[in-house]
Structure 1
Amino acid sequence: MAQPIAPSEHLLFGRVPKRAAQVRPTVPIAFPLKEGQLLQITDVQGKQVADMVAFNMHDVREYLSPSHTRAINNSLVIVQGMTLYSNRRNPMLVLLEDTVGRHDVLFPACDRRGYLEDYGIPDHPNCKDNFVNVLAEYGIGEDDLPDPVHWFMHVGIVAKGRFEIREPLSERNDYVLLRALTDLIVAVSACPQDQNACNAFNPTDILVRVYD
């Protein structure tokens, strides 16, 4: 069972969300997030991964980069209080609260070809297509997509450095809370992976809220 990380303070007390959306595995969301706004991503039923990508609102060639975030923080994992960085090494978001403490910044988004090659399933719903569909209006195409941050995804590293995808540690209503450090375009996909333990073989909804 996940051991929750106690928030340093409850930053949402008395706040009313400016935006709220229930994100289903086949219905992603993209939205602007202004500097200083808070983004809460909640696992509604538990054991569900939320893929997230983010871009500089004023220049979408700058994007949230898991590899730069790993390098600058000298860590394979994201922990409460950590800053997330862009491909230009600029701070984009800071993780203020985290009730789970286990997320992934190693894997790419799941995609159509992966489901076909790994499981023999053509045209399976996937996070990459989800992102392409909702980011088109911002001029962001398939080849512009960076690797996402996978909130709540539980990846183990076993013998000889092999990856092991495990069920998320998140339980009902666990969440992460981030503050935007610059103006962003953010997209969130409730991962539709149902062929391995990524979402405990049962994809469910993610709740996204934005607060001023």
Structure 2
Amino acid sequence: MNTTSPRPDGERIRIPARSGVAVKLAQGMTIKVINTHGHQVVDTWAFNQKDLGESMSMEHSRASMLKLVPTVGDTLLTNYRRAILTLVEDTTPGVHDTLIAACDKHRYQQLGVAGHHDNCTDNLADALGRLGLKSKETPCPLNLFMNVPVHEKGRLEFAPPVSQAGQYVTLRADMDLIIVMSACPQDVTAVNGMTPTDAHYSIS
């Protein structure tokens, strides 16, 4: 499924399990990303509509926020250190991830998967491709609903999401942008509770 322009206010639109969508948002619009079933990670990217070389950057955002995970009121920055998305609402426990790269074919090979496996890197490319666009790289995504606890001595863990069915985050566009969301197909580690599912979004 692909959306190239905003739908009517509040219409709930499906992000099919294991797939990605790309949506154009004008500055000031908001998008609600809904964890429909409660255990689905949504890898999220944002690009300047006028220049795909400018994209939301987790490393630049962390340097500005001085925290690992954004909370309500925090603004995410681009690789040019400009505001691109602001988190304006979060009905989840606030557990998201800014550290982990999008899954790709190499990751699944490392995990012992033989042959093709759906992945967020391909989902990003496919979603942009349906708009006739291409990014030169895969930026590190904002992994909404992803639970990566940081333990003693900096050890990380892949754990199931703690969000509940129907909980959501709302993001405001701080420039004219393209947002890409991938309902992560990871079913080898626990990040999606081992069962990837649909997610939804709505625009206002």
Map Cα deviations across residues 8-67 of structure 1 (whole Å, 9 max, x no partner). Answer: xxxxxxxx6266420112331101011010100000011110111110001111000011
**Match 2:196 to one of 203, 209, 212:** 203
Alpha-carbon contact 1:154-1:165 (below 8 Å) kept: yes
The answer to whether 1:133 aligns with 2:119 is: no
The 1:19–1:29 alpha-carbon spacing in structure 2 relative to 1, beyond 3 Å, is: farther
Corresponding position of 1:7: none
Q: Distance in 2 between matches of 1:120 and 1:20?
A: 34
- Going from structure 1 to structure 2, the CA distance change for 1:115 and 1:90 (only over 3 Å counts) comes to same
Give the Cα separation in 1 of the matches to 2:91 and 2:32. Answer: 11
Question: How many angstroms apart in 1 are the aligned matches of 2:141 and 2:23?
Answer: 16
Within-5 A mapping of 1:107-146: 107-136=100-129, 137-141=131-135, 143-146=136-139
CA distance in 2, matches of 1:84, 1:209: 20
Question: What TM-score, normalized to structure 1?
Answer: 0.88
CA contact (8 A) 2:19 2:185 kept: no
Unmatched 5+ residue regions in structure 1? Answer: 1-15
Task: Tell me, yes or no, if the aligned pair for 1:78 and 1:102 is still in contact at 8 Å.
Answer: no
Q: Pick one of 75, 97, 102 that aligns with 2:95.
A: 102
CA drift at 1:144: 2.2
Helix, strand or coil for the counterpart of 2:73?
Answer: coil
Partner in structure 2 of residue 69 of structure 1? 61
- Tell whether the 8 Å contact from 1:115 to 1:122 is kept in structure 2 after alignment: no
Pick one of 161, 171, 175 that aligns with 1:168.
161
Matching of residues 148-167 of structure 1 within 5 Å: 148-167=141-160
The 8 Å contact of residues 83 and 174 in structure 2, kept in 1 or not, is answered as yes
Q: Select which of 40, 45, 49 maps to 1:53.
A: 45
1:191 aligns with 184
Match of residue 27, structure 1, among 11, 16, 19 = 19
Matched residue type, 2:42: A
Amino acid at match of 1:48: Q
Identity of aligned residues (%): 37
Aligned in 2, Cα 1:119/1:17: closer, same or farther, shift over 3 Å?
farther
Q: So what's the TM-score if we normalise by structure 2?
A: 0.91
2:170 counterpart of 1:177? yes
